[in-house]
Structure 1
Amino acid sequence: MNSEYELKRRSSSPESPPHRRRRGESSNKELKRIDYVLIYELDEEEKDDAKTQEKNKLRNKFKEAIWEEGLEMQEDEITDSKNFDKKNIFIKIHVPFERICTQAERVAVEMNIRGLSIPEDPPPSYLEWFYEFERKHLKTDNEAKKIFTIDGRSVERYTVDSVATTFEKEKMKIFENHSDVNTFFRPALRCFLANDILINIDIRDEADRQNEPLNRKGLKYMLMEKIFLDAFIMHDESDIDPMEEEEKKKKEREFGSRFVIDDPPEGKKLILPDTRKELHESWLRYRKYQPLWKIRNYFGEKISLYFAWVGTLIVSLWIPTLLGLAIFFYGLYLSIEHNINNTNQLNATDPLTLTKSYVERSIQVIRQAFDNKVTPYYALIMCLWGTLFLEFWKRKNAELAYRWDVDYFEETEPDRPQFQGTQKKRDPVTQEEIWYYPFKRQLFKFMFSFSILITMVFFVLISVAMVILYRVYTAVNLCSDPKICIIVNALVPALLNAISIMLLGKLYEILAYKLTNWENHRTQTQYDDALIIKLFAFQFANSYASLFYIAFFRGINYGKDGIFGLGEKYTDSCGTDNNCMAMLSLQVLVLMIVKPLPKFLKDIILPWLLKKWRLRKICRGKRRVDDTESAQKKKSLTLPDFLERERLKPELGDFTLGEYTEKVLIYGYLMIFAASLPVAPLIALIVYLIDIRVDAGRLLWWYRRPISTIAQDIGMWYGILYVLNVIGVISNACLIAFTSHWGRSFDETYKKLLIVIGFEVCD
């Protein structure tokens, strides 16, 4: 690294032993990229209390384990931009090519074989114009392009498939791009392998292993005990990073300034492809396809499959959106025609009364427009659409998994470091002794977790019932004054409902994580699937319970007993004409519009404010640290600045878990209550279109780089989508038969049941 970018080195570690070059290994110079960063506080090295000394001992032991793994480190002392009297030590870790190859072999990574790619067939002559237009104006991926020799000519074509096999170091020469050690592993795979090495380090000695055989002391333990304050993977540098000032963007970027541990070879400027710039220019444009290959190469398969799923959903939503708009405008025409005579009969002359009357009638017209004579056919089409969408996605998922060579990943997926095997058995294939966890114990844990889940869902239903009870009671006993009625019958129930949702949600989230950890899942995929089921089951009850009540229970005539057996006067009707379908439509409409707003506030407004605040703090910090810095140096972002800036970025957390939950909940509104809101596909389409670009910006610029993860599908979310489709068929059939204006025109119950049965048969 140039001295311009060098800070005082805190410690020196012995040089790694020179690796003997293996047969087939490239002889080109390897750039020592910063693959991982660990942080601890400088002051802790100087404290003498027993607790701090124990931390220092464990930290040094972990650093020794890193060296023993064949990784390389450097330490920099950097001033904390939030507290200028505090200094942190940044440990920059580089994984040598030889070591990352070893890890790739252990994880059984699939790599493409050189010269075994199949080109796509040329398009028919009558479609050449369309393919040319698509290539120039819509396509964003060129990673799948290769040069093929066809009929003696070199032709650039997209590949249909590349033959891959499990990576082996001894057979390096058979793999694509084997001669370039710096680009042989794509960025996401390198990130995955580096993280896999570090999280599997265990610093326990023999005595610890005997006393605590199930408690590993690895990176997660070190972070939990604050032995290391933080750990992260750096983003690749970019010319268009919005975190840099305008003059810094214009400076020529040279590889080696921020990302490599050692200087580049003499006389060479090693330029790294600006991956984030390429993604920004193609991914954040609405009029182009998503660059799924680029996303996969930078963020990994799990995140890329999420964006592929959302993209597929967006494309498939256009047909129900147009159909829903047509049905809504038809219903609006009928509603206006029905209400126009009543409007003309208004005799009031007071402007305030007239305005109030027109507003009320306008709302009534819109509510009635959602429930018209063609609504049953729309609901049937939406249920069919849900089935077709899942089939279409299943095919798309299989295609991507096959082309990315991850379609059998779960069969060879490595164990989680947190997995605790308690007994041994012989592997029937390799004949090796392997640890496993007895099925009976795990089954008991699953049953216990399921009982907790059912209990928490029951508490949600109780909280909803209590809010309904409060609202009905206050409507009868405390609503003599309209002003008081608004507070006690509208605001207070909403506040109580919000408080119960937040408290129960936070409590259950903590329980869900603890229970899933306790269940002791072997692989990360199994762990994620179990966690998804727990969290979404609670979200399902939380989000849809009140809507199911409006759709099927509110407005029921309980006779002399009244609701909850309180008496005849305690009823809960749906307003004018007891039209619960109109009330349900309005409620779903409000939820679909309001629910994404906090997320957009958190993901757009808050990061923008934090970015401005961080830049202000960093600039003030630089002036305090060195007011005599030359003007030329001020124009270049130093490596310490970049490291500190990356540290200050917020963590994404489990990105796909949160995003899938939000998108699938909206999908649930769309499917389960399709009959009540024909414009629901339009709202969902707008939300998805905005959110997918916001998510791209978050990943590229505003948040830390997430740890790359390999995945072959979207996991348990596919099963959840299937269940929502099934519930949607039943729910829409009952809405049409028992709640809609069309269904209520049939007096006989058996006719309504025939409608439900017919609906089920058609789907």
Structure 2
Amino acid sequence: MASPTQPQEALSDTGLLSRSESWSKVTCPCCVSGQVEPLVLIQLAENVQPGTKQWIMAMISAAHSSGGAQLLTHPGEDSSWGRIVVAAPRCTLLRATEDLGLCRADKDDSMVTFSFSDRHNFSNIDDMQKFLTLAERQYIVKHELESMRALKAQRIPGIPGDKGILRARQNIFQKLQKAGVIQDVFPLCDEKKLKALGQEWYSQKRLWGQPLDSIHAYFGGSVAFYFSFLDFYTWFLVPPALLGVFITFVLPGPPLPDGAPADPSGLASASGSSPSPGSAPEDEDQLSVSGHMVQAVFSMIWSTLFMELWKRRSAALSYRWGTLTLTERFQEPRPGFHGELGTNPVTGRVEPLFPDWKRQLRMGLVSVPVVGLFLCLVVLGMLGFYYSEGLMADFHKASGSIVTAALTYLPSVMHIVYTNMLGNAYRTVALQLTEWENHREESSFGKHHTTKVLVFTFFNNFAVLFHIAFFKQDLLLLRKRLSSLLILSQMVNQFTEVVVPYIVERVYNSSKKELKDDDPAADHMQAEGSLPPFPGLFAEYIELLVQFGYLSLFSCVYPLTALLLLLNNITEIRGDAYKICHLFRKPFAPPEASIGVWQTAFELLGFFSVLSNCWLFLMAPRVRAFLQNAAFSPAGVLLLAVFIEHVLIVVKLILAFMIPDEPDWVRIKREQIEYRSMKALNLQKVKRSHVPAELRP
């Protein structure tokens, strides 16, 4: 692949390329360096002309004042090669660090919001590989590429028709993407760092903790926060897992009070229905009353402690990674946004405009009814589950064999498969609906997409369980349903987390052996481009949210829930780590200060756990027997339930108030950062006031 007239420089062990005439020039003397670090690869269409490629490289290299990105470009093997390698000079990285509002260590080793004008007071200011992580440097390159704008109307060389017309103030990078000139953009992999991370992360036999700083440095904040949350959640499952084992295998049930149901568990009479045929063997190992009550109260307290302590951990990580004071920036239009070109009244820029009333009309007349249709399909599946459950129960009652007893679980398994298939179809439809709604900002798009998926996920995964618990009041059926969900999900998850990655890795390794030896740098770039893009962490968070719901809402009827989830998540950590390192292309990762909207979703589930566990607490067999013996009327039972619910909500709020969201040392550091930033801003105002008005920018 190497050109005889212009050979490609080979990558060194540090991932740097020696400076050559192929790299574009820098105008700032402090940015001159003997080596350049390739950060991002731009994949062009096959039919792009050399003149078009040269124009794109010139715009990327141009200064910000000329509408460019002020980055460094390399044509690859030659001018006709369909890729452009992009790097970043020192000053571009430093100015972007200030724009993003990142904190960095100063000479006193204190984290301070970075200021370009005060850059000489920060540590490692001359070594960008120490000053910024690889993920941050690559994201800055992407950020700068997406900020390029044409200063005047012009035509892109080599692009005929309307596709080549570039209007004044139009976003250049988005225009090239929509015209099909730029097909893909992705950050380059550092094989040496990735191998070292893999050995530290999933190759070693470590059960506790993750190399979070190394993950953050290589993959960025969003990935690091996900694995930190997964790790924290997994090991926070240890207390409920131990309690579940103790309740199931150790804790004896107290003697039944006078007048209590005669069956060993009391669940059948508590539910108001007759015990199903063949349920006697199940009744013998049902929960004791004390265990049922302890597990219900523990689940509510556990969910509160988990979220409050995670907030403290999240704040500490945010400070350590310099994202405690991220800047709220006016967002550029997302690449998929379209509309009539016009002048944005806020920025004065020419960009696509789309009326809000049209978007609201699309959401109200199409998106909401489609979401409602899928929720109706969930209800339809639930009715089918109850119908088949009744048929199998009658069939088992007629035969009474061991085979038919096992077949009574078949309706649950079939319904789980149905809900999974429906969920997969809905996620595709939800993404298309959100795209069609045409949201301008990426944050708005993500919020509406996440809301759609969360509403359906909650309804699809928990509607049957809530109906069984609150309306049918059948704890035996609830326990059978929950155990079926957990066991089947364990089997599917182990297959997808272990078997599938192994098969894909074997196939990918065989393709890597075909790399040529004449130009290893170019061949590795080509191999990276052949990998599928990283699908994001949306599905991973949904899986954890469903797990958290099973545990916090219903685990009192099946105390081994936490144990099964703990065993699953130990494999999940390694499986997810292996997949992101080997099976997907390295993703761009913007700086993050938390897990975002997912934290709110988990907190809402924790609130619902109070309602669920309060109801299940009153459904405990001995509690029902006690209420019947005390001659409580239905209205009295309802009032008691409301009273207990309010007491538990108050306890939950008190716990949340007693545990600050930030550790004291993080709060002090944050206030110090804000104080120093305020002083620096006041100093700038004073200096500016001494400058004559005609000389001010």
Classify 1:66/1:288 alpha carbon distance in 2 versus 1 (closer, same or farther; 3 Å): same
Aligned 1:83-232 pairs, distance under 5 A = 91-98=83-90, 100-101=92-93, 104=96, 107-112=99-104, 114-118=106-110, 162-165=111-114, 167-168=115-116, 171-200=118-147, 230-232=184-186
Question: Is residue 673 from structure 1 mapped to residue 554 from structure 2 by the alignment?
Answer: yes
| 1:721 is the counterpart of 2:602 | yes
The change in CA–CA distance for 1:211 and 1:446 in structure 2 (over 3 A counts) is: farther
CA distance in 2, matches of 1:97, 1:543: 50
Could you say which residue in structure 2 is the equivalent of 1:72? 73
Give 1:497's aligned amino acid.
H
The amino acid of 1:72's aligned partner reads T
Question: Structure 1, residues 396-432: CA drift from partner, whole Å, max 9, x if none?
Answer: 22232234332343622643433569876766xxx97
The worse-fitting range, judged by mean Cα deviation, of 493-502 and 641-650 is: 493-502
Which residue matches 1:21? Answer: 28
CA RMSD of aligned residues (A): 4.6
Q: Deviations over 1:368-388 (max 9, x none)?
A: 1x3533311321121122122
Encode CA deviations 1:256-293: one digit per residue, 9 max, x unaligned. xxxxxxxxxxxxxxxxxx46415632565534533322
Question: What per-residue deviation string (whole Å, max 9, x for no partner) do you get for residues 284-319 of structure 1?
Answer: 553453332222222111122222222332343333
The answer to whether the Cα contact below 8 Å between 2:289 and 2:620 also exists between their aligned partners in 1 is no
What is the aligned counterpart of 1:660 among 541, 564, 574?
Answer: 541
Contact 1:111/1:175 (<8 A) preserved: no
- Stretches of structure 2 that go unaligned for 5 or more consecutive residues are 10-19, 63-67, 156-160, 256-261, 265-277, 650-697
2:489 alignment partner, one of 572, 595, 608: 595
1-structure distance, mates of 2:172, 2:444: 21
Tell whether 2:501 aligns with 1:607.
yes
Q: Deviations over 1:134-185 (max 9, x none)?
A: xxxxxxxxxxxxxxxxxxxxxxxxxxxx1222x43x5542332122245433
Q: Is the 8 A contact 2:99 2:327 kept in 1?
A: no
Equivalent position SS for 1:746: helix
Change (3 A) 1:698 1:103: farther
- Tell whether the 8 Å contact from 1:525 to 1:715 is kept in structure 2 after alignment: no
State whether residues 97 and 181 of structure 1, in contact with CA within 8 Å, keep that contact through their aligned partners in structure 2: no
* Separation in 2, partners of 1:223, 1:332: 67
Alpha carbons 2:177, 2:183 under 8 Å: kept: yes
Contact 1:39 1:231 in 2 (8 A): yes
Which of 365, 380, 384 is the equivalent residue of 2:297?
A: 380
How big is the shift at 1:461?
Answer: 1.6
Aligned to 1:595, the other structure's residue is in SS state helix
* Kept after mapping to 2: 8 A contact 1:398/1:407: yes
Task: Please name the residue that 2:187 is paired with.
Answer: 233
Change (3 A) 1:603 1:213: farther
Q: Tell me by how many angstroms 1:191 deviates.
A: 1.5
Q: Distance in 2 between matches of 1:222 and 1:371?
A: 67
How many angstroms apart in 1 are the aligned matches of 2:625 and 2:50? 74
Which of 303, 306, 317 matches 2:237? 317
Kept after mapping to 2: 8 A contact 1:233/1:705? yes
Distance 1:383 1:590 in 2: 23
Structure 1 residue 328: Cα displacement:
1.9
Structure 1 residues 739 and 451 mapped into 2: Cα distance closer, same or farther (>3 Å)?
farther
Residues 528 and 665 of structure 1: is their aligned pair in 2 closer, same or farther, counting only changes over 3 Å?
Answer: same
Q: Could you give the per-residue CA deviations for residues 533-567 of structure 1, whole angstroms, max 9, x where no partner exists?
A: 21121111111122223223336xxxxxxxxxxxx
Report the residue type matching 2:199 in the other structure: H
- Would you say the 8 A contact 1:475–1:489 is kept in 2? no
Q: Residues 38 and 412 of structure 1: is their aligned pair in 2 closer, same or farther, counting only changes over 3 Å? A: closer
Q: Distance in 1 between matches of 2:280 and 2:185?
A: 59
Match of 1:642 among 515, 518, 524: 524
Q: How does 1:110-509 map to 2 (within 5 A)?
A: 110-112=102-104, 114-118=106-110, 162-165=111-114, 167-168=115-116, 171-200=118-147, 230-238=184-192, 274=193, 276-278=195-197, 280-281=199-200, 285-331=205-251, 363-366=282-285, 368=286, 370-409=287-326, 411-412=328-329, 414-418=331-335, 444=361, 447-448=364-365, 449-469=367-387, 471-472=389-390, 493=411, 497=415, 500-501=418-419, 504-509=422-427
Matched residue of 1:179: which SS?
A: coil
Amino acid at match of 1:417: R
1:527 to 1:648, Cα distance in 2 relative to 1, 3 A:
same
TM-score normalised according to structure 1 size: 0.66
**Kindly tell me: are residues 182 and 386 of structure 1, through their superposed partners in 2, closer, same or farther at Cα, counting changes over 3 Å?**
closer
Contact 1:309 1:393 in 2 (8 A): yes
Which amino acid is the alignment partner of residue 706 of structure 1? Answer: P
Q: What is the aligned-residue identity percentage?
A: 20
Using the TM superposition, give the Cα deviation of residue 584 of structure 1 relative to its aligned residue in structure 2, in angstroms.
1.6
Instruction: Give 1:585's match in structure 2, choosing from 479, 490, 500.
Output: 479
SS in 2 for 1:553: helix
Name 2:461's counterpart in structure 1: 543
Shift of 1:393: 1.7
| Structure 1, gaps ≥5 residues long | 46-52, 78-87, 119-161, 239-273, 336-340, 344-358, 556-579
Mapped partners of 2:526, 2:349: distance in 1: 46
1:233 partner amino acid: P
Would the aligned equivalents of 1:551 and 1:739 in 2 still touch at CA under 8 Å? no
Aligned to 2:36: 32
TM-superposition CA deviations, 1:479-513 (whole Å, max 9, x none): 97789x96998698568635643553344223322
Cα separation, 2, equivalents of 1:393 and 1:488: 41
